[in-house]
Amino acid sequence: MPFYSPLNPILFFPSKPFFKLTKTLTFSTLQSTNMSASQDSMNATSLNTPINLQNYPIPLSPPLNPLSKEMELARAMSASSRSSLFALSKSDVLYQDQWLIAVNKPQGVYCETVLDSAPQLLDCLVESSGLDEGTVARPELHLANRLDRDTSGVMVITKLHKVASKLVKAFTDHKVRKTYIALCIGSAPKWEKITIKSGHGRSKFGAFRVYAASDVGRSLPGGSTVKDMETSFEVLSINGQGSFREPSEFNSDKNILVVEEKAVIDTDAKKDEILVRAFPRSGRTHQIRLHCQYLGIPIRGDVKYEGVCEWKGRTYDGHELHAESLSLEHPVTGQPLMFRAPLPVWATQIV
């Protein structure tokens, strides 16, 4: 029987009966329908079932409190608004020579703000020395170490590119010895000295967290890996009872805590004021703050890591952590150097 096609108005005669062609098309349609239904079922199952493409390590410190994000943002905006008014003074200088300068960074100021203020300070120092400014080469200023916005204390700025590279290598090779002072709020620890070893990394939400020591080297979301983190602590005073002593060599071979599980903190226990000295053995971001949080003695004012922002009727606008000292070999002369920053008021009042 001739067949008329609307696409081509010409009669043609199919080589095979039309019913067979129709049957074939029907079978193909059913097969396609069944495959689509099967695929939809698989898609629905995959949507309802979480897929873990990689077994990432689990952080052992708590996630950030949503309220802390708002407070941190307010603090950051306040610091940024003050940056144009900030200027280093001669009294901030701890050490200076032709290769580097060490200053005492105040709380609530970004490192970049301090660096931007350094040229004006150096001009004042040259002027007070009686030297002709035209004979003094303009320095190539670099930050040798960085401190968090609310951390005060020793900050080193180099004046030459080659000196900066040498100091960076010294920090990377752990040849620089640092001490910090922190005022913490929590239950008085049973230890006088302790060394804590753990992992350090960014969680899937971008926040720095404590990880198990056994997780060091494992991959994290975003492509980074868990790094080792080690800090030694010694208690200087509890509720004002104690004495401030000079930094000494710390034997980290005794009373070692290797982190492998979440800390158990009694949140209802009595809160004490604990002044500690910290000896960071590695240089991880927020290292001391994270380890204080894990030990159950978060730093006062450190809302990011569970520190109280209100204490005894007063509100604190920043965490109370101070870079007390920094010891190293001079990158040019090789002579031993030790920079000490005066203690802030909150540290002298507690002892």
Position 143: which residue type?
L
CA 222/CA 300 separation, integer angstroms: 31
pTM of the shown model: 0.81
CA 258/CA 119 separation, integer angstroms: 45
Q: How many CB atoms lie within 10 A of CB 305?
A: 25
pLDDT tens sequence for the chain (351 residues) = 444 444 444 444 444 443 333 333 333 333 444 444 444 444 444 445 444 446 899 999 998 888 888 899 999 999 999 888 899 999 999 999 999 999 999 999 999 999 999 998 998 887 665 544 554 566 889 999 999 999 999 999 999 999 999 998 998 888 999 999 999 999 999 999 999 999 999 988 889 999 999 999 999 988 899 999 999 999 999 999 988 888 777 676 689 999 999 998 888 889 999 999 999 999 899 999 999 999 999 999 999 999 999 999 999 999 999 999 999 999 999 999 999 999 999 999 887
CA 235/CA 62 separation, integer angstroms: 24
Six token digits for residue 72: 């941190």
Six token digits for residue 261: 């599980």
Burial class (CB in 10 A: 0-12, 13-18, 19+), 193: middle
CA 261/CA 194 separation, integer angstroms: 17
Write down the residue that tokens 């916005």 correspond to: 149
Q: How many CB atoms lie within 10 A of CB 64?
A: 19
Is 302 one of the annotated active-site residues of the chain?
A: no
Position 90: which residue type?
K
Residues 264/152, Cβ–Cβ less than 8 Å: no
Look at residue 101 in the predicted model and tell me its pLDDT: 96
Number of alpha carbons in the 13 Å side-chain half-sphere of residue 328: 26
How far CA 300 is from CA of 225, 276, 315, in Å, comes to 30, 12, 10
Residues 213/199, Cβ–Cβ less than 8 Å: yes
Full DSSP string of 116-145 = HHHHHHHHHHHHHHT--GGGSPPP--EESS
Kindly calculate the radius of gyration of the chain based on its CA atoms and give it in whole angstroms.
Answer: 31
Q: Which one of 92, 97, 148, 272 is the catalytic residue?
A: 148
